[in-house]
Amino acid sequence: MTTAIVTGGAGFIGSHLVDALLAENISVRVIDNYSTGRPENLAHVAGQVELVEADFAKPGNWQKLFQDADWVFHI
């Protein structure tokens, strides 16, 4: 299965992109720091996406989340 990562996927635009990817049967991983996005924007797809809270400005294990991705959308 194709895997897409959407950074900023909990924002208005990102959450709509998540919806479109899911409609195409693409596995979606959302990475967001919630600086402007909200988890409520993805409540309707809970259980269908992997949601990870991470801030790219800070060191962490978030780098490994990109290893198996086919696509990355940075919103």
Question: Tens digits of per-residue pLDDT, 41-67?
Answer: 999 999 999 999 999 999 988 999 999
Identify the pLDDT of residue 71. Answer: 98
* C-alpha to C-alpha distance for 11 and 63, rounded to whole angstroms: 21
Residue 39's Cβ-side half-sphere holds a number of Cα atoms within 13 Å equal to 8
- Which sequence spans correspond to the domains of the chain? 3-56
* C-alpha to C-alpha distance for 9 and 25, rounded to whole angstroms: 17
**pLDDT value at 2 more than 90:** yes
**pLDDT value at 1 more than 90:** no
Q: How far apart are the first and last CA of the chain?
A: 22
Distances from the Cα of 4 to the Cα of 1, 7, 58, angstroms: 10, 10, 22
Identify the pLDDT of residue 15. Answer: 98
Residue 57, phi-psi category: left (phi > 0), alpha (psi -120 to 50), beta (remainder): alpha
Question: Tens digits of per-residue pLDDT, 27-46?
Answer: 999 999 999 999 999 999 99
